């Protein structure tokens, strides 16, 4: 998985039938270099015919092939991310890099763009690859995002949750999945509700890059020294997105005016204000939950930002915890999700439903490419 934070590629192996998680395997991470990040940023917002897309696509394919080859290496077994001998994967889920996302059709027909050629990846890795996960959902009237909720449902079963919980992924954009683990299937009525909450790490990452040439605010150290602007937070919450009912989704740059809103603030105050905005967006989103979840499991890089976690706990009337305390891996959940979804695609099972993306009916997305004989 290569997410909207643009930090690199996560890879993770799981053993599953696409319904039950049997075992978690090895993991690996391949960071993007500063030059690669710059090439990806230059292509953000562009569709397949964009001038900067070919260079971005090459970065995505090169990075994914490099990290996945650790699992698919020659011989009967490969080395996983921990250097241990592990079975070679029978199937790979390749999400690609989202460069543009317009599920509302604001620029024409609804569409979404993840760059990266899964057929090429299948040849390079000599392993069947499932890719283009989002297009079918969008074509059938869905948002095409978020797609992790069906995996979150399986995770709630895996940790033996017995009451409603929520999974909050803090990547470049924040997304929330409400799960009722008493239901049998993820597309049962009331089993799931999922949507993007608003910006998460992306505005802070962009701020740190623009002002300090740093990829992110490590541990929230910069934000810890600042004071939020209440006026900016309140103005932020008037954005039309917060008045839409879920399911709903965002592009990474849908709140790009946030940068202008904090332009006159110091680095510290700007970082804190952006965190306060993101936390307030999560709290606003939780108002849509069918029942108040007792626990919010936080995943993604944002959970390591101590100020982000502090603001979430101040805003939300629930236990806000790092998902790692359950034994799940908060850094790898998204990568594991697309491995899980790949198996569902291969088995002809749905990967989204009306309560997760707003699609008209449960639908299975994804294209399967196999290496040539």
Rg (CA), the chain: 19
Residue 17 lies in a domain: yes
Rounded to an integer, what distance in angstroms lies between the CA atom of residue 145 and that of residue 247? 9
Question: Are residue 166 and residue 203 in the same domain, yes or no?
Answer: yes
In a domain, 216, yes or no: yes
If asked whether residues 44 and 178 sit together in one domain, one would say no
Pair 107, 191 in one domain: no
Q: Are 166 and 138 part of one and the same domain?
A: no
Q: Where are the alpha helices (DSSP H) in the chain?
A: 34-43, 53-68, 118-125, 135-139, 149-158, 202-212, 230-236, 257-261, 267-286, 306-315, 333-346, 354-357
For residues 135 and 265, membership in a common domain is answered with no
Q: What distances in angstroms separate CA 27 from CA 11, 88, 93, 334, 348, one per listed residue?
A: 6, 13, 14, 12, 26
Per-residue pLDDT of the chain (373 residues; tens, 9 = 90+): 998 888 999 999 999 999 999 999 999 999 999 999 999 999 999 999 999 999 999 999 999 999 999 999 833 344 555 556 678 999 999 999 999 999 888 888 999 999 999 999 999 999 999 999 999 999 999 999 999 999 999 999 999 999 999 999 998 899 999 999 999 999 999 999 999 999 999 999 999 999 999 999 999 999 999 999 999 999 999 999 999 999 898 877 788 899 999 999 999 999 999 999 999 999 999 999 999 999 999 999 999 999 999 999 999 999 999 999 999 999 999 999 999 999 999 999 999 999 999 999 999 989 999 999 7
177 and 290 belong to one structural domain = yes
Whether residue 341 lies inside any domain: the answer is no
Structure tokens at 121: 């990846």
In a domain, 149, yes or no: no
| Domain co-membership, 226 together with 258 | yes
The domain that holds 85 is classified in CATH as: 3.30.420.40
Q: Are residues 181 and 314 in the same domain?
A: yes
Q: How many domains does the chain have?
A: 2
Phi, psi of 7 (to 5 degrees): -90, -30
pLDDT for position 76:
38
Residue-range definition of the domain harbouring residue 68: 8-143+365-369
Residues 6+ apart with CB under 8 A from 199: 172, 173, 174, 250, 254, 255, 258, 274, 277, 278, 281
Same domain, 294 and 222: yes
Q: Is residue 46 part of a domain?
A: yes
Q: Are residues 176 and 311 in the same domain?
A: yes
* 1 lies in some domain: no
Number of Cβ atoms within 10 Å of the Cβ of 175: 28
Tell whether 344 is covered by a domain: no
**From CA 150, how far away is CA 367, in angstroms rounded?**
18
DSSP 11: E
Would you call 171 exposed, middle or buried from its count of C-beta atoms within 10 A (0-12, 13-18, 19+)?
buried
3-state helix, strand, coil in the chain (%, to 5): 35, 20, 40
Same domain, 197 and 314: yes
């Amino acid at each position: 998985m290569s997410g909207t934070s643009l930090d690199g590629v996560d890879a993770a192996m799981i053993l599953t039938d696409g319904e039950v998680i049997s075992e978690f395997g090895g993991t690996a991470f391949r960071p993007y270099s500063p030059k690669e990040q710059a090439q990806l940023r230059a292509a953000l917002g562009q569709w397949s015919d964009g001038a900067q897309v070919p260079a971005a696509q090459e970065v995505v394919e090169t990075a994914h092939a490099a990290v996945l080859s650790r699992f698919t290496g020659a011989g009967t077994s490969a080395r996983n991310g921990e250097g241990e001998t592990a079975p070679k994967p029978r199937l790979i889920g390749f999400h690609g890099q989202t460069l543009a996302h317009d599920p509302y059709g604001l620029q024409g027909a609804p569409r979404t763009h993840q760059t990266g050629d899964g057929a090429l990846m299948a040849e390079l890795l000599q392993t069947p690859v499932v890719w283009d996960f989002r297009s079918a959902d969008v074509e059938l009237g869905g948002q095409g995002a978020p797609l992790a909720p069906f995996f979150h449902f399986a995770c709630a079963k895996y940790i033996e949750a017995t009451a409603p919980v929520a999974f909050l992924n803090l990547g470049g954009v924040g997304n929330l999945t409400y799960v009722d683990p008493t239901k049998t299937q993820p597309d049962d009525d009331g089993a799931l509700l999922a949507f993007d909450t608003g910006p998460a790490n992306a505005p802070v990452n962009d701020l740190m890059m623009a002002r300090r040439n740093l990829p992110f605010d490590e541990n929230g150290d910069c934000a810890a020294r600042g004071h939020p602007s209440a006026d900016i937070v309140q103005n932020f919450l008037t954005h039309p997105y917060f008045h839409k009912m879920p399911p709903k989704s965002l592009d990474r740059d849908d709140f790009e005016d946030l940068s202008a809103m904090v332009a006159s603030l110091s680095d510290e105050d700007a970082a804190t204000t952006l965190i306060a905005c993101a936390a307030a967006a999560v709290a606003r989103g939780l108002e849509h939950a069918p029942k108040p979840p007792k626990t919010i499991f936080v995943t993604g890089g944002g959970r390591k930002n101590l100020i982000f976690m502090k603001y979430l706990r101040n805003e939300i009337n629930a236990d806000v915890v790092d998902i790692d305390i359950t034994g799940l891996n908060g850094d790898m959940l998204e990568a594991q999700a697309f491995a899980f979804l790949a198996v569902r695609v291969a088995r002809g099972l749905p990967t989204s439903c009306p309560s997760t993306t707003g699609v008209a009916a449960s639908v299975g997305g994804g294209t399967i490419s196999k290496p040539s004989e």
